[in-house]
Structure 1
Amino acid sequence: MNKKEIAKQYITHLENGNIKQVVALFNENGMVDSPLYGIKKADEFYRELNSDTANSELHLKGIFEENDSSSLALYFTYKWTLKNNKKVEFDVVDIIEFDNQNKINKLKIIYDTVTARKLVEAL
């Protein structure tokens, strides 16, 4: 699979709550840098996110990739229903860094956390 195909799989698995499949896209040292959850190993981050989530809807707006780069950017809208049924919607940019096996080495999540932070803290 190429990087764009992996990125599309990531979006699909995340939306469907398929955490094992999301984590399988990462290498064994894969890390996630999240504005809400901090920097964590991928499996730890996605387990925590999943435990806070009742439902997710992701709408991909674009995938941006430079030639000869090991990174790409995903731009999408995230409609997030937390386990207490509170809802928040925001635009997200994920910067994905791949290793030479096309496994995700690092994923940096970028979005405005003003509303989401308050809701997660209330869980």
Structure 2
Amino acid sequence: MNKKEVAKQYITHLENGNIEQVIALFTQNGIVDSPLYGIKNANDFYRELNSDTSTSELYVKGIFEEDHTNSIALYFTYKWTLKNDKKVEFDVVDIIEFDNQHKISKLKIIYDTVTARKLVAEL
């Protein structure tokens, strides 16, 4: 798969709650930098996110790729229903860095956490 195909797979697996498939897109030491959960290895991050999540709906607004880089940016709307049935919706930009085999080595999540932070604290 090329970088754009990996990014599309990432969105699909994340929305469907297929955590094992999401984690499989990462390198063994892949990390996620999240404004809500901090910096964690991908395995720990997605398991924690999954334990806090009832459902997710993701709507891709754009995938941005520059030639000759190992990065891609995903821009999407995230409709997140938490385990306690509280809902929050926000726009997200994920910056994905790949290794030479198109595995994700780092994913940086960028979004406004003002509402989500309060709701996650209530879990």
Q: How far apart are residue 89 of structure 1 and its match? A: 0.1
> Which residue pairs with 2:8 in the alignment?
8
Q: How far apart are residue 39 of structure 1 and its match? A: 0.2
Paired with 2:5 and 2:28, the residues of 1 have a C-alpha distance of 20
In the alignment of these two chains, the number of paired residues is: 123
> Which residue pairs with 1:91 in the alignment?
91
Q: How far apart are residue 17 of structure 1 and its match? A: 0.2
Query: Equivalent residues in 2 for 1:104-123 (5 A)?
Result: 104-123=104-123
Paired with 1:34 and 1:17, the residues of 2 have a C-alpha distance of 18
Secondary structure at 1:85 match in 2: coil
Secondary structure at 2:74 match in 1: strand
Paired with 2:43 and 2:23, the residues of 1 have a C-alpha distance of 6
Cα RMSD, aligned residues only:
0.3
> Which residue pairs with 1:52 in the alignment?
52
Paired with 1:9 and 1:100, the residues of 2 have a C-alpha distance of 18
Paired with 1:68 and 1:37, the residues of 2 have a C-alpha distance of 31
> Which residue pairs with 1:62 in the alignment?
62
What is the TM-score when the length of structure 1 is the normalising length? 1.00
Q: Structure 2: 5+ residue runs without aligned partners? A: none
Q: Percent identity?
A: 81
Q: How far apart are residue 49 of structure 1 and its match? A: 0.1
Paired with 1:8 and 1:75, the residues of 2 have a C-alpha distance of 11
Runs (4 or more) in structure 1 with deviation over 4 Å come to: none
Counterpart amino acid of residue 109 in structure 1? I
Secondary structure at 1:47 match in 2: helix
